[in-house]
Amino acid sequence: MHILLIAGGWSNEREVSLNGSQAIQAALERLGHQVSFLDPSTQYHQLASMAVNVDFAFINLHGCPGEDGLIQALLDRLGCPYQGSGPSGSLLALNKAAAKELFVDCNILTPAWEFLPLPPDEDWSCRLNFPFFVKPNNGGSSLDVSQVSTPEELPACISPVFARGGEVILEESVPGMEITCAVLGTDPLPPILIQPADQSGFFDYYSKYTPQAAQEICPAPVSRELTTLIQELALSAHQKLGLSGYSRADFMVAEDQPYLLEVNTLPGMTATSLFPQAARAVGLSFDQLIARLIELGMQDK
Q: Which sequence positions are flagged as catalytic?
A: 13, 141, 209, 248, 250, 262, 264, 268
Distance, CA of 181 to CA of 183 (rounded, Å): 7
**Burial of residue 81 (number of CB atoms within 10 Å: 0-12, 13-18, 19+):** middle
Task: Map residue 134 onto helix, strand or coil.
Answer: strand
DSSP states along 196-263: --TTTSSS-HHHHHSTTSSEEESS-SS-HHHHHHHHHHHHHHHHHTT--SEEEEEEEEETTEEEEEEE
User: From the CA atom positions of the chain, what is the Rg in Å?
Assistant: 19
Task: Map residue 191 onto helix, strand or coil.
Answer: coil
